[in-house]
Structure formats: C-alpha cells, structure tokens
Structure 1
Amino acid sequence: MSSLQFLSYFDKDSNTFSYLVWEMASRAAVVIDPVLNFDPASGRTSTVAAERIVQDIKANQLQLTYILETHVHADHLSGAAALKALCGGAVPVGIGEQICRVQQVFGALFALPTQADGRPFDLLLADDATLPLGGATIRVLHTPGHTPACVSYLIDDLLFVGDTLFMPDFGTARCDFPGGDAATLYRSIQKLFALPDNTRMLMCHDYGAPGRPDVANETSVGAQKAQNIHVGQSRIEADFVTLRTSRDATLSMPKLLLPAVQVNMQAGELPAAEANGIRYLKLPLNQF
C-alpha cells in the first residue's frame, strides 16, 4: 500500500470540505472538491480558498496531477477552473461520466449553449475506472442517488464520498434534486458499505449535530454501518426510502443552487462576458 498524506480545507460559508491528497514517494497530488469563494449579495468571487491550496502544493513540493469533483454541487461554486488556472492551466479536471445528464437538464433550464457532452471537463470517469497517482491508484465508484452523476473516490484506504453520506450523527444526502432517487442512494451506500470496515471515509460537508456543535469530516465504513442515523444498523431499503422521502419534503432549496449549478456543470468556469464586459448568472423565475 502506498504512503498517502492529505490536508483538508473547510469553507465555513458553505460548510464544505475540500482535500489535497498526495502520494509520498512521487509527490503526485490530487485536489478533490475545491471551492470558489462567492458572495451572493454582491456577486463577487475570489480565489482565496484555491490560493491556500496552491500554497500547500508549493510548500510540500507536490505535482498536481488531477482536480476531481464528486458531483455538481448545489451549495457552493466549484473552484476547479480557478485552481487549474493558478496551476498553469494544464491540470485535467474530472467528474463522473453521468455529468452529461445533469448538463442536459440544467442546460435546458438556463437556456445555456451547452452540448451536454461533458465539456469543458477533461476527464469523464466511468464506474470502476482508475487513475494513477504515483504509486497509488484512484478508483472511481459511481454512487448516484443524490444526483445521477455522483461518484466517490477510493485512494488506498481513503474514501471521499462527496454528498452521498454525512457524518453518522447527521445521516445521508437529500434525493429530491433532478435525477435524484432515494432507492438508488440506498444501493450506492450499500456499495460503499461493502468496503472494509476500517476504510477511512472523508466527508464533503458537515453542519454539526445535536451534542456535537463542532464540524467533523472523518469517520469509517464500520462506524457508518453501525451508527448512521438514516441507513445504519442494517436498515432495509423500504424504510430508508420512506425516511429519506419524508425528510426531503421538509427541506428548503439550497440558497446557492441556481448560481452553483450554472458554474459547476461547466467545470467551475464562469459564464462568458457579455457585450458590456460583465459576466452574468441567470435566475429562472417561478420554476421552483
């Protein structure tokens, strides 16, 4: 087994964790789920979060090999394009190959000139695909349910699950976005639960929980199987679907869903400037 190191970065505005992972011998590195700083009140973006990751890449003398997204996020803008630019523009950005389905749905909603063929992502990753990371291997696990394009990344004993699961005391991801499905999420989670119990599981989000006000980002497959309040203790699929569907009906829309999806399904690239030199995000009225 290769020797891996990783750093985590918490964006408190969106409760998002991003990760920088590297293989010690080769110094080959991957960034998972980077964030672009965004103030919705002013419409201003900044690359503070991406710059912090770049500083650590340089400080540890790493070679950034990939930027990977677990899915099209609804709660923050992706920093993939910003990070790619800061690193010279040659680092490939990858996502699950089902991104085309997300682009088709939301491209139509926003009347965007997308071809729904995965562009501008550089890598469209199929289930069980692998990517070399020095002496380690990144394995792609298609884990749909929250969205149809969700994937998890397994690197040795590190499992990056995106929004598929939260910490055991917070449960599981919502399934009421276009293409989401509670039964599909349950089966994706069982796929992850088939991994060894000591597999370390890294979260993309945490919001604290009753009795645990501080955020946390690491648990294990075994702990999730035993303790997850939505799907642990061998809960059967039908019960999970009832629980998840009922809970989803009470949830409000994420405040950044509409701006985030427009940017994130384009690999973090901001819309092109219009004739006046200004970039715009669209807000569809009376659609939700």
Structure 2
Amino acid sequence: MKFSRTSASRGPRSPEVTGFYDDDTGSIQYLVVDPETRTAALIDVVLGFDPMGASTHSDNVDAILRYANHEGVEIVRILDTHPHADHLMASSLLRERLGVPNGIGEKVIEIADLWRATYNMPGAFDPKADFDNLFANGDTFEIGELSVRVMLSPGHTLGSVSYVVGDDAAFVHDTFMQPDVGTARADFPGGTASDLYDSLQRILKLPEQTRLFVGHDYGTEYRSIPAWESTVAEQRRHNAHIGGGTPKDDFVKRREARDKTLALPDRMLHVLQMNLRAGRLPEPEDDGSRYLKIPMNKF
C-alpha cells in the first residue's frame, strides 16, 4: 500500500475520512473519524492475499493501524459493505486484534446460501457467528458523536450496504465508480443490473454536497492517479453510465453488455470461501495446514 489521502471534516457532523489504496486489487480502505471524539470505524480493509501461492499477509492492516495510532484515533467498529469477490477481507483479523465489533449487511446470510451450493459445502458459513452486527436497511448506530445510517444497495451483490455517516459522507462500495469510469459490475451470483440502477438512484437522492467514497478505482487512459471521492452532484451530472438522467432500460442494456466482457476476479473462488466467514481462514486439518475447496468448471 503506497498511497493514501485524507478528506478533511467540513465541520460539525462531518467525518474526517482517510482512504488507503490497495495496489494489488485497486480497492480503497477507509478510516472514518469523528473529529470531536477521535473515535473511528474501519471500512472494507483488505487482508493481503497471493492467489498464486494461496498465502496471506497483514501489510495493509499493520499500516492502517499504525496510522490510526499515530493520529491518536480509537477504532470502535469494523465494517464491510459486502462479501468482496476480488480481495480477502480483514474483518476477522481486526476483530481479533482490536476486540471491537465487526459488521456487514444482514443479507450476507442469503449470499452464504448461494455459495454453499456453489462450493457443495452444505454445512459451511455461519455469518451470525463471524459477524457481531448484521445490519438491516435503515439501521442506525454511532461512531463517537456521528450518526451512521445503513442503506441497502444491492446490484453488485444482493446484500451490499452503504454507510451514510454524519451529514455529508456516504461509503457506496461497488455501486458507483468515479464519474469518469461509471458504475460497478453486476454479474456475480445474486447481483443484477436492474437492482444496481435502483441502488444508484437511491444514493443520488442524498443531498448534493454529500461526499461519495467508492470501493475501487483502477485509473483510466487519461488519469493514472487513483481517486475515490466525488459528490452526489458530480455523479448526477457527469457519471459516464448514469449521469444526466440515463433511463433504466438503457443503463441495464449497457451494464449487462459490459459485464459479459469481464473476466472473473482471479481471487474470487478463493476469497469468497473466507469472506463469508468475515475473512477467517479455514480451520487447520490434521497436518496443521489449512485448505480451500475450489469448484471446477462452474464459471
């Protein structure tokens, strides 16, 4: 992880947000701080994973926790927006290290049902055991003095959630990309372009000045520096797929056509088996090693 950037608080009820870029996956990890109390939450932190050697490392976790300690920040929550298909989530490791609750949307239970069948592992995955909080649409909680509202945002997955923090920040994961890129894919099991369009429209109903923090950026032909912050107003006007009031039918056709050209993430079949356990690795077998089960010729 070589790149980070802080978006300053705009005043009362406005979080300070630092994004940390994961070079391997183009993912953005967030430290969300209440400037009044210096308490914070982590969102979508990445546990390093090498699919070639099936090995893990905690470089991102270590760097982000060092930064938080240097800034005098107390982390009180660990949050994920969905079970990621392109990276291994650090939720379980962070819960173990910090002793604070972790959370995700409650529809992870339905996502687990889908993937039990894919892996032919009928007894696998118990989100109620691996996550302390399973959030429903409209649930609220606090980070210090900042209120947080959970917004169900399906499309990329059937159970993705956004976190609307304070008066002017929303963490919208794999829904929007940066305006010059467009939107996220919607072709994973349980995802649909139709649901994604509806989620995008709900996000666009937030106040125009709301800062939107996305889950990924890979740059473009014209922009090599990673970016992850925009506003509702910018997305309404300039988003490459939906800006200016694109009709739903047009969006769905374009999104589905684009998705048909995309390869699966190289980590997907590895990491989902762990992410449905909050990133917890499989239990060691009798030789002391841990093993994954990968379905052949299903995709």
Report the TM-score, using the length of structure 1 for normalisation: 0.96
Pairing partner for 1:208 from 219, 223, 227: 219
Q: How many residues align?
A: 286
Q: Could you list the per-position Cα deviations for residues 156-213 of structure 1 after superposition, in whole angstroms to 9, with x for gaps in the alignment?
A: 2111111011001111111111111111110110000001111001111001112112
Match of 2:112 in 1: 103
Q: Map 1:79-90 onto structure 2 (within 5 A).
A: 79-87=90-98, 90=99
In the TM superposition, what is the alpha-carbon distance from 1:39 to its structure 2 partner?
A: 1.2
Counterparts of 1:117 and 1:57, CA distance in 2: 28
Q: Map 1:133-282 onto structure 2 (within 5 A).
A: 133-156=143-166, 157-282=168-293
Structure 2 residue ranges without an equivalent (≥5)? 1-11
Moved more, 60-69 or 240-249: 60-69
Q: Could you list the per-position Cα deviations for residues 7-43 of structure 1 after superposition, in whole angstroms to 9, with x for gaps in the alignment?
A: 1111100001000111122222100000001111112
- Give the secondary-structure state (helix, strand or coil) at the position aligned to 1:138: strand
Report the TM-score, using the length of structure 2 for normalisation: 0.92
Q: Could you list the per-position Cα deviations for residues 103-149 of structure 1 after superposition, in whole angstroms to 9, with x for gaps in the alignment?
A: 00112222333355543111000111111111111111100011011
Structure 1 residue ranges without an equivalent (≥5)? none
Counterparts of 2:15 and 2:253, CA distance in 1: 39
- Give the secondary-structure state (helix, strand or coil) at the position aligned to 1:119: helix
In the TM superposition, what is the alpha-carbon distance from 1:57 to its structure 2 partner?
A: 2.1
- Give the secondary-structure state (helix, strand or coil) at the position aligned to 1:91: coil
In the TM superposition, what is the alpha-carbon distance from 1:62 to its structure 2 partner?
A: 2.1
Counterparts of 1:62 and 1:14, CA distance in 2: 26
1:66 paired to 2:59:
no
Q: Which amino acid aligns with 1:124?
A: L
- Give the secondary-structure state (helix, strand or coil) at the position aligned to 1:161: strand
Q: Could you list the per-position Cα deviations for residues 216-273 of structure 1 after superposition, in whole angstroms to 9, with x for gaps in the alignment?
A: 1111111111111111110010110111111111111111110111111111111111
Judged with a 3 Å threshold, the aligned counterparts in structure 2 of structure 1 residues 82 and 115 are, in CA distance, closer, same or farther, namely: closer
The 8 Å contact of residues 51 and 266 in structure 2, kept in 1 or not, is answered as no
Q: Which amino acid aligns with 2:250?
A: D
Q: Could you list the per-position Cα deviations for residues 62-85 of structure 1 after superposition, in whole angstroms to 9, with x for gaps in the alignment?
A: 221111001111110001112222
In the TM superposition, what is the alpha-carbon distance from 1:6 to its structure 2 partner?
A: 2.1
Judged with a 3 Å threshold, the aligned counterparts in structure 2 of structure 1 residues 115 and 261 are, in CA distance, closer, same or farther, namely: closer
The 8 Å contact of residues 101 and 116 in structure 1, kept in 2 or not, is answered as no
Alpha-carbon RMSD across the aligned residues, in angstroms, is: 1.3
The 8 Å contact of residues 3 and 25 in structure 1, kept in 2 or not, is answered as no
Q: Which amino acid aligns with 1:11?
A: D
The 8 Å contact of residues 174 and 248 in structure 1, kept in 2 or not, is answered as yes
Q: Percent identity?
A: 39
Q: Which amino acid aligns with 1:73?
A: H
Moved more, 2-11 or 90-99: 2-11
